[in-house]
Structure 1
Amino acid sequence: MEFRYLGRSGFRVPVLALGTATFAGSSEFFKHWGRTDVAEARRLVDICLEHGACMFDSADVYSNGGSEAVLGEAIKGRPRDRLIISTKATFRFGEGENEVGSSRHHLLRSVEGSLRRLGTDYIDLFQLHGFDARTPQEEVLSTLDTLVRAGKIRYLGVSNFSGWHLMKALATADRHGWTRYVAHQAYYSLIGRDYEWELMPLAIDQGIGTVVWSPLGWGRLTGKIGRGRPLPETSRLQSQRVADSGPPVAPDYLYAVVDALEQVAAETGKTVPQVALNWLLQRPTVSSVIIGARNEEQLRQNLAAVGWNLDADQLARLDAVSERPRPYPYWHQRSFAHRNPPPV
């Protein structure tokens, strides 16, 4: 397994990490993702560790804490220093007025709850699941800095921030000498390349490592969806609520990308998801890609996305078919490319 630095930090992470949104499946929303129990989770963790994929990502809202609890049981008894545990908080977790957001009250409670469910005394990477415009950045960053100094968190990250959200937070941390974010868990896929417009250049400039979520386009690049094919019965997209909560994708655009993926997959002897994952691993700023799996077969297939690379021609064809018109001011900046060079 290849390891990369997590942004401009000295911490190295595997290029593939196991996402645990499929663990537990005890809520109405997450049951459509999967219902992995403790025994199954232990087996998936075993397989990941056999392949060197020692990073496991969760969040308090996944099955209302159920995912973290199952992960905690699955890693119990294993050497803690051989594992990298990441989790997230900010979204509502409880009915009280203060059980949501990134306030000092909510973050302190969230971290303590995650530590308890995970059965550990520290979190390797703690990420804000979304931006909270209601809480001053000084309150957010000072609270997180305190948790880092207390040894409960090792590294800080965010998720789903816009460029100005992240830059404002970094400037606040720099101004006060507080711990900086080094990671951004962001949606990025062959059918979702908005990340490249502003967040990727920002990550290069500020030393932020990207941890990619939903690299298969919200379950659309599994190789089971294509022209004239019915939606698989096991697809999370069978749930209208789940489909509506994910990134929208026009059918014609999706099928064009899938056609190109299938062609490259045939050339390389790989699967469609393996090609899609490998393409991501060759993009700038990507430190790690979070893979999900309902079962052992899916996990082993996804883990086989490393150890080889698409060639330049294959990358160029996938780039071309998945390219989308850029909104202002990004299309205008392209006309001034010698002063606004694209990420490399």
Structure 2
Amino acid sequence: MKYRKLGDSDLNVSEISLGSWLTYGVGVEADKARACLEEAFNQGINFIDTANVYGRGAAETFLGEALQGRPRDSYVLATKVFFPMSNTDHGLSQAQIEKQLDASLQRLRTDFVDLYQCHRYDPATPLEETMEALTRAVASGKVRYIGFSEWNSQQIQAALDMAGSGRAAKFVSSQPQYSLLWREPEDEVIPLCAENGISQIVWSPLGQGVLSGKYDPDRPPPAGSRAKSDEMGGFISWLLKPEILRAVQQLRPLADEAALTLPQFALAWVLREPNVASAIIGASRPEQVLENAAASGVVVDTQLVARAEEIIENAIGRVDA
């Protein structure tokens, strides 16, 4: 496993990280989830990402239990805040950040998180209030560093301006969706972040499993897959279009040429970007963790990268909006 520095922090995170969206505490049984977590550590993965809203606290609760007994300095733990936890608890107000952070720490059974992320931008709360609350969280020792997910370049720049004037803590990470099937961050977010000491922590680098090649355009989704799951399949429908699935199958010979599996090829494509510190994988079986972890350190020939991008763009265009 290779490691990369996370922005302007002193955190070194594994190139492959383990996420818990739609999986742990929700769609994957506890014993299988524990096996995936154990395999992640066996493979040198040190970065675990979650959020308070995943299972309305269930994912954090699972991790809090599963991580007990493991040295706290042996892993990097990240969670997020924004989405509703009840009919009245949501957003990035000072009161919500303080309340939700304490609740997350209790569920995670830890005194601090290494990275606390704004899960989305909150237009209903002044940015100054959000940044002040995050800065207090850092000063309290409950949070080491702060990040955001799916903010646009104007929102990022406004936060950077506050940090530059000494009015707020500085973001060190961005968590966007990014894959061969979704390249929108390349336009503005990645360049801005690269210039300002902010790294990308990529979610859905395998297009929710579509880039694994397991979905046949001419057959129903296989049993046991995310697309077949009531708990985990609600966000994948737009990626199951026949033209997308056929394009993905055309990537298989390129992966073969690189002596990689298709998931490894897709992860290596994401990690070719220097501003990406880590690609978050979701796994329901330890074998998936083992396979995906092997993508760390892989360098794919630039000609294969260009051919892969051409295949996707010719088939479906830039799917970024």
**Taking structure 2 as the reference length, what is the TM-score of the superposition?**
0.92
Moved more, 205-214 or 229-238: 229-238
Which residue number corresponds to residue 19 of structure 2?
Answer: 19
2:25 is matched by which residue type in structure 1? A
Name 2:28's counterpart in structure 1: 35
Give the match for residue 70 of structure 1: 62
- Alignment partner of 1:95 is 2:87: yes
1:69/1:118 contact within 8 Å kept: yes
Of 222, 227, 233 in structure 1, the residue corresponding to residue 212 of structure 2 is 222
Matching residue's letter, 1:35:
V
**Separation in structure 1 between the aligned mates of residue 230 and residue 104 of structure 2, nearest angstrom:** 30
Deviation at 1:157, TM superposition (A): 0.3
Decide whether aligned partners of structure 1 residues 67 and 242 sit closer, same or farther in structure 2, where only a CA change above 3 A counts: closer
Identity in percent: 36
What's the counterpart of residue 292 of structure 2?
Answer: 302
Which of 172, 177, 182 pairs up with 1:182? 172
- Judge conservation of contact 1:42–1:75 (CA < 8 Å) in 2: no
Instruction: Verify the 8 A CA contact 1:223 1:271 in the aligned structure 2.
Output: no
Gap runs ≥5 in structure 2: none
1:264: how far off?
1.4
Alignment CA distance shift 1:244-1:20 (3 Å): closer
Instruction: Kindly state the Cα deviation for residue 155 of structure 1 after the two structures are TM-superposed.
Output: 0.8
Give yes or no for contact 1:219–1:236 (8 Å, CA) kept in 2.
yes
Is the Cα–Cα contact under 8 Å of residues 19 and 280 in structure 2 kept in the other structure?
A: yes
Deviation at residue 250 of structure 1 after TM alignment: 7.6
Secondary structure (helix, strand or coil) at the match of 1:71 reads helix
Give distance in 2, aligned partners of 1:247 and 1:206. Answer: 35
**CA contact 1:170–1:180 (8 Å) conserved in 2:** yes
> Which structure ranks higher in relative contact order (CA pairs < 8 Å, sequence separation ≥ 6)?
2
Q: Which residue of 1 aligns with 2:96?
A: 106
* Structure 1 stretch displaced more, 45-54 or 107-116: 45-54
Partner of residue 86, structure 1: 78
Q: TM-score, normalised by structure 1?
A: 0.86
- 1:164-243 equivalences under 5 Å are 164-238=154-228
- The answer as to whether partners of 2:79 and 2:113 remain within 8 angstroms in 1 is yes
Instruction: Tell me which residue corresponds to 2:119.
Output: 129
What RMSD, in angstroms, separates the aligned Cα atoms of the two structures?
A: 2.2
* Cα drift, residue 52 of structure 1: 1.1
How many residues are matched? Answer: 317
Q: Is the 8 A contact 2:173 2:199 kept in 1?
A: yes
Instruction: State which of 292, 304, 309 in structure 2 corresponds to 1:319.
Output: 309
State the distance in 2 between where 1:234 and 1:43 align. 17
